[in-house]
Structure 1
Amino acid sequence: MRVIISPAKKMKTDTDFLGSRQLPRFLDESKMLLTLVKKLNYEEAKALWKCNDAITELNLERLRIMDLTRQVTPALFAYEGLQYQHIAPGVFEQQELEYLEEHLRILSGFYGVLRPFDGVVPYRLEMQAKLEGPDFHSLYQFWNRKLAEELASESSCILNLASKEYSKCISPYLSRETRFITCVFGQCVNDNVVEKGTLAKMARGEMVRYMAERQIDSVEEIKAFNRLRFRFDEERSTELTYVFIQE
């Protein structure tokens, strides 16, 4: 089983806590994207990143000095978003970290697919960013089947805890032999399941943590997940969609 999650916009560099074990598998592709982004002027970069002047200036400075092989941080510790706060890898013991290194994969518009201890540098490039190159008009087109094929080569069962922005770079390319299960974390509103972004991020992080603590190796075991007052809803779930409702 492989578990996929989204990255976070906010990142940090921390080379003192735990070292990376390897560089990302698609580093050559990342170098190609870096070359393209470095060619953008200020206004083009700001439009690509959809951010304010302060964040634009920060990321342009990052680009100026960016070296993808030096001063790298393990991916699991580099991202600082809400989901990663709820994973809380900083307090894991070695057994839990080894579980995540084997089972967890982080999708990235810049790096493709990351293992938790792949060394990364802070960047800003969302999967839906409108970056064009010689042979592609979007990052979805750039990555094409590569990410799905990489995941499918590792496991025939993928647990999707990623946002739609990221999961849709995987799902269209999987064969019928690969089981692709999506988790929905929602609330009942007028008998409809409503998924709220902030709460879903928290729940996805808690699910990753739950799985690591229990060393889960069968996807059916996650049905017992009960954090943040979520419970598995058998009636609303299907073979490929696991629905968790907050009580």
Structure 2
Amino acid sequence: MKIILSPSKTQNHERKRKDKGKNILKEAKTKELFNYLKSLSKEDLGEELDIQGNLLDRTYELYQEHSFEDQTLPAIECYNGSVFKQLDLESYDQEQFSYLQEKLIIISPMYGPLHSDTEIWPYRLEMRLKPDGINLYEYWQEVMKDYFADVDLIVNLASNEYSKVVEKNYQGKIIDFYFKEEKEDGSLKTVGYYVKQNRGRMLEQLIKKQVKSLEAVKNINLEGYVFNEDHSSENEFYFIKPFEK
């Protein structure tokens, strides 16, 4: 079983843990992307990454100052979006850290599949973009196919933008998650912010409880979001927060 997760655009730049982690899986492919983005003018970088203003200024500086000799940091420390903010890393014991390092795979457009302790440099890139005309789904497709070839079950906490690069050639079982809120009339609504938050909460519970079975997943309560048998299917798990009267 592996748990897949999207990366976040917001990232840290300062290392906390002293232990050295894993090397990136496909260094040559990563360096090709880094070097191309570093070679661009600020204007061209903005067009490639679909950014402007202060964000473009910071991103251009990031790539211009980047060196492959720079200090790296573990992927789980680098990403700092709303999903990752739900993880209480400081509270994990050794067994929980081992579970995290074994089970979690972050799907990165810059690095491919990442373990939580893979050593990376901060970057700015999204899977939907095409730097130098490169289709990043195709760029990483064979890497993902080979990496997940022997994995029998994927717990999918990634967004569709990232999970589809894994799903395209995967032959095993994938469980997709849906987080909904019940309205007064019984209909269901999706709130984007809470979807991201609940992906992080779900991962936090999987790590804390070191979950290894789908039945154990169904028993998780995410601050009121609980597994709903009626809406769920073999490959789709719905966690719904009932309407409070």
Fold similarity call, TM over 0.5: yes
What is the aligned-residue identity percentage? 27
- Per-residue deviation, 1:164: 0.8
Partner Cα distance (1:4, 1:207) in 2 = 12
| Partner SS state of residue 169, structure 1 | helix
Matched with 2:120 is 120
Structure 1 position 235 matched with structure 2 position 203: no
2:149 corresponds to 1:152: yes
4+ residue segments displaced more than 6 Å:
none
- Alpha-carbon contact 1:19-1:73 (below 8 Å) kept: no
How far did residue 93 of structure 1 move? 2.2
Q: CA deviation at 1:69?
A: 5.4
Instruction: Please give the alpha-carbon distance, in whole angstroms, between the structure 2 residues aligned to 1:123 and 1:229.
Output: 35
Q: 2:165 aligns with which of 133, 151, 169?
A: 169
> Which residue is equivalent to 1:28?
28
The residue correspondences of 1:189-204 to structure 2 (distance < 5 A) are 189=183, 191-204=186-199
Report SS of the residue matched to 1:35: helix
Judged with a 3 Å threshold, the aligned counterparts in structure 2 of structure 1 residues 214 and 34 are, in CA distance, closer, same or farther, namely same
Tell me the CA shift for residue 5 of structure 1: 0.4
- TM-superposed CA distance for 1:29, in Å, is 1.0
Query: Once superposed, what is the RMSD of the aligned Cα atoms?
Result: 1.7
1:51-104 Cα offsets, whole Å, 9 max, x none, are: 332121211121122234541111011111010000232332222111100000
Which segment drifts farther, 182-191 or 202-211?
A: 182-191
In structure 2, the CA distance between the partners of 1:141 and 1:99, relative to structure 1 (3 Å rule), is: same
Which of 194, 203, 228 aligns to 1:208? It is: 203
Q: CA deviation at 1:144?
A: 2.1
Unpaired runs of at least 5, structure 1: none
Indicate whether 1:219 and 2:190 are aligned.
no
TM-score, with structure 1 as normaliser: 0.91
User: Structure 2 length normalisation: TM-score?
Assistant: 0.92
Please show how residues 1-247 of structure 1 align to structure 2 within 5 Å.
Answer: 1-68=1-68, 70-133=70-133, 136=134, 138-153=135-150, 155-175=151-171, 178-189=172-183, 191-247=186-242
The structural deviation recorded for 1:132 is 3.1
What is the distance in 2 between the residues matched to 1:192 and 1:238?
18
Q: Aligned partner of 2:116: which letter?
A: P
**Is the contact between residue 16 and residue 77 of structure 2 (CA under 8 Å) also seen in structure 1?**
no
